[in-house]
Structure 1
Amino acid sequence: MAQDTFIITLPPRQLPLLQGWRVTPAHLAYRLGPGAHLFRSEGTAPPKGGLMVVDDQEFSPLAPTGPLCQEVIRECQARSFSGAILDFENCLPPLEQIAARLDEQFARRGWTLLVPERYGAHAPHSRVMIPSALSGGSLQKRLEEALERFGESRVVLALEKRAEDFYLPSPTGSGQPLNDQELAELKRRLSPSVFFSGELCARYFTYMSRENGAHFVLFDDGDTLRHKTEVARRLGIRTFLAPWAEIGPYAAQAGIQRRQEQRTGRR
């Protein structure tokens, strides 16, 4: 029977939180900075093993991409990383070049590369991250389309514990993000009837505001995360990515296994 692979993103200082869980850590410690260099977070002890997460928040599109890719490869070698996650929010030709270069170099070394969906075509050996959060449609159909496009071996479900407050109608499909406290306060104040959407694998409720009319609140909890992983498993997707800050309290519900303790018997 195929086993799940859970890749968990978290800062290196929080690595002890993963003790006892059967997961692969992905270190939130790297960024593409100005001057074509890879930067590690200040005050962060050099992590070892697992994957590195690289964001593009300070990336300069004028920087040469070749030396930058070599810095990523050298850091992976020095820290015994088995791969990297490109957490790119922007879509720029130089970032596409970086994804393509790293894809080729990583494949040659047998390393894992995870990329956002928009970069999947530029990195044909990579694993492609498909977000679990939807505001419309069907999660199953969304994943089926990704499987048809990229193939079963490449699709990774990126779990997100989301809560958003949408105006109705919502022409953009985007709502106002709510943190846990804001969602709890809204539910306490409204005492709404909460429903479950089997298509979205999320909970929701509606309410009316005197100021701006109808609202639709969509949110996740431990049960919805479990439903999302179950949908993925039925389609043959067995690799999941999740931030520990969001999934930690629901790790067991999502299907993350505990490591078996090794016991030494007495003679």
Structure 2
Amino acid sequence: MQPNSTILLTAPPAHSRAALRFGLPVAHAAYRVGGGPHLFRANMPISVRGGLMALDCVGFDGRGEAGPFCQEVIRECSARGYDGILCDFEGRPLPLLAEIVQTLSGLTRKRGWPLYVPEAYGSCAQHTQVLISSALSGGSLVQRLREAAAAYGPERVTLAVERVAEDFYLPSPTGQGQPLSREELAQMLEERSPSVFFSSELCAHYFTYMSRENGAHFVLFDDAGSIRKKLRVARDLGIRQAVLSYPQVEDLLEDILSGQRP
């Protein structure tokens, strides 16, 4: 029997207290690679200690030296009692960010801390957890995770669950849909009362509808059940760690956790 997934939440400062009440480790999304580079931080409640640092790179120009920046990161982790780092680096890979990952890998390994990195930086250092997104508009989640497990080893792969709610034109030449808010999705389901199906390949629910203005549409969305299914798919492949964004799943989290089964 497979054990339940080990779940890590990410949460910005405004959601930190709410996320902590679930008793799961929380990566505090209050940090950024700023110019210099220096560690930029948002205001965090003084009482919030422990968990992990979540670090993004929005607006970073890719210039500077890795060493001093990484020491800033470690000092902040020590001051806050963090025991891990999650690098939420989006956009094209930058050489300096790769160097930061390499340096942080050595520093975190010495301390016995996990270091989570996007797949684009997965080959930069061996002792990292590689984040593989669950978001797909085509293909198969099983195949996606199987390939990642073959490339990095299942023990290094962490499923980054992204709650999907998107409206696609049919056909969809770009594979990009229009994001839907929870309210928009709920309204669409109520007004159209569509027949909803489940895609085993995408591990998400979907329905189709016709619009007088622009023809056929395909709507893909998650609920607690489909997210639990993604976690089970990962576990079946030996991938037992998962990261969820608390603001994305706050209305589903209790159901996700109570419904986890080996």
Q: Decide: shared fold, TM above 0.5.
A: yes
- Residues 40-81 of structure 1: CA deviation (Å, up to 9, x unaligned): 103653742110000101323122222111111111122121
- The answer to whether the 8 Å contact 2:13/2:43 transfers is no
Q: SS where residue 106 of structure 2 aligns?
A: helix
Q: Output aligned runs, 1:66-105, within 5 Å.
A: 66-90=67-91, 91-105=93-107
- The answer to whether the 8 Å contact 2:198/2:204 transfers is yes
User: Residue type of the partner of 2:203?
Assistant: C
Q: SS where residue 154 of structure 2 aligns?
A: coil
Moved more, 37-46 or 72-81: 37-46
Tell me, yes or no, if structure 1 residue 219 matches structure 2 residue 197.
Answer: no
The residue that corresponds to 1:236 in the other structure is: 238
Report the CA distance between 1:232 and its aligned residue: 1.2
Q: SS where residue 205 of structure 2 aligns?
A: strand
The residue that corresponds to 1:107 in the other structure is: 109
The residue that corresponds to 1:153 in the other structure is: 155
User: Residue type of the partner of 2:166?
Assistant: E
Q: SS where residue 165 of structure 1 aligns?
A: strand
Q: Quick one: distance in 1 between partners of 2:206 and 2:259? A: 28
The residue that corresponds to 1:17 in the other structure is: 18
Q: Quick one: distance in 2 between partners of 1:256 and 1:38? A: 37
Q: Quick one: distance in 2 between partners of 1:120 and 1:222? A: 29
Report the CA distance between 1:13 and its aligned residue: 4.5
Q: Quick one: distance in 2 between partners of 1:134 and 1:189? A: 26
Report the CA distance between 1:111 and its aligned residue: 1.1
Report the CA distance between 1:256 and its aligned residue: 6.0
The residue that corresponds to 1:139 in the other structure is: 141
TM-aligned CA distance change 1:113 to 1:19, over 3 Å? closer
TM-aligned CA distance change 1:104 to 1:19, over 3 Å? closer
- The answer to whether the 8 Å contact 1:12/1:47 transfers is no
- The answer to whether the 8 Å contact 1:21/1:257 transfers is no
- The answer to whether the 8 Å contact 1:132/1:157 transfers is yes
Q: SS where residue 105 of structure 2 aligns?
A: helix
Report the CA distance between 1:20 and its aligned residue: 5.0
Q: Quick one: distance in 2 between partners of 1:121 and 1:87? A: 16
Q: Output aligned runs, 1:1-267, within 5 Å.
A: 2-19=3-20, 21-42=22-43, 44-45=45-46, 47-90=48-91, 91-255=93-257
Give the structure-2-normalised TM-score.
0.91
Q: SS where residue 164 of structure 1 aligns?
A: strand
Q: Quick one: distance in 1 between partners of 2:48 and 2:156? A: 26
Identity of aligned residues (%): 50
User: Residue type of the partner of 1:198?
Assistant: S
Give the structure-1-normalised TM-score.
0.90
What's the C-alpha RMSD, in Å, of the aligned pairs? 2.0
- The answer to whether the 8 Å contact 2:134/2:141 transfers is yes
Q: Quick one: distance in 2 between partners of 1:212 and 1:13? A: 39
- The answer to whether the 8 Å contact 2:105/2:127 transfers is yes
- The answer to whether the 8 Å contact 1:46/1:79 transfers is no
Moved more, 63-72 or 149-158: 63-72
Q: Quick one: distance in 2 between partners of 1:257 and 1:182? A: 26
Residue segments in structure 2 that go unaligned for 5+ positions in a row = none
- The answer to whether the 8 Å contact 1:8/1:244 transfers is yes
TM-aligned CA distance change 1:122 to 1:19, over 3 Å? closer
Residue segments in structure 1 that go unaligned for 5+ positions in a row = 259-267
- Residues 106-160 of structure 1: CA deviation (Å, up to 9, x unaligned): 1122111000111101121100111112111111111111100110111111112
The alignment covers a number of residue pairs equal to 258
User: Residue type of the partner of 1:72?
Assistant: V
- The answer to whether the 8 Å contact 1:23/1:256 transfers is no
Q: Quick one: distance in 2 between partners of 1:58 and 1:48? A: 27
